[in-house]
Amino acid sequence: RKKRSFYKAGEGQLRRLHSSAEIDNAIEFIARIREGRFESDLLQEAEFRKFYASISEEDQQFSEIHALELDGNLVGVVLGLVFKQTFYYLLIGCDYDGYGKFSPGYILYDEIYRRFMEGGGTIFDFTVGDEKFKAQFGAKPVSMHGLLRGNSVLGKGAVAALNAKQAFEARRKGRNTAERS
């Protein structure tokens, strides 16, 4: 319903951005929208904005940046990476003050998801976080695991030290829990 009202409100469109100027502007837009919302937001630093812009500009088969517009005004932007038919969502910024009544984030996700699947994509990965809206798109939580291996003598020693530290902390935590019982 909100998507229909968005497109009825004016000339709405979702565009994939390609030019350096558009991409730089989109990353700056995301940073402005996020300003003050997150503690220690690295996107507020020029080096990080430059990093994301360079990813989006240099390898447009690996990255995609999409802009949602209404009557030529930027409403929202999503940056994601694409690998093996999977879209990995990374960043979003939406003008909720001006366009919040349309739920622009939902429109962006829905439109990008639809286009990606129509183009042969198979998975839309919302990456980290367990925000409730992700379930509305059918997302399911997936456990994350890491595999650590040392290749050198120093690396093997570091892995052994890390494993010993984790085992010690687990035993200590178990004792503290048992002592409280």
User: Phi-psi region for residue 107, left (φ > 0), alpha (ψ -120 to 50) or beta?
Assistant: alpha
Position with higher pLDDT, 94 vs 123 = 94
pLDDT tens-digit series, residues 5-15: 888 888 888 89
26 has pLDDT over 60: yes
Show the domains of the chain with their CATH numbers: 2-136 (3.40.630.30), 146-181 (no CATH)
3 has pLDDT over 80: yes
**What number of residues does the chain have?**
181
Sequence-distant (6+) residues with CB within 8 A of 91 are: 30, 43, 52, 77, 78, 79
Q: Are 77 and 29 in contact (CB under 8 A)?
A: yes
Prediction pTM value:
0.69
**What is the maximum span of the chain, computed from C-alpha positions, in angstroms?**
66
State the pLDDT at residue 177: 53
Reported as a pLDDT band with limits 50, 70 and 90, residue 173 is confident
Percent of the residues in the chain that have a pLDDT greater than 90, as a whole number: 22
Reported as a pLDDT band with limits 50, 70 and 90, residue 32 is very high
State the pLDDT at residue 77: 94
pLDDT tens-digit series, residues 59-107: 778 888 999 999 989 999 999 999 888 888 888 889 989 888 898 888 8
- Extract the runs of DSSP E, i.e. beta strands, from the chain: 12-16, 63-70, 73-83, 86-94, 123-125
State the pLDDT at residue 176: 57
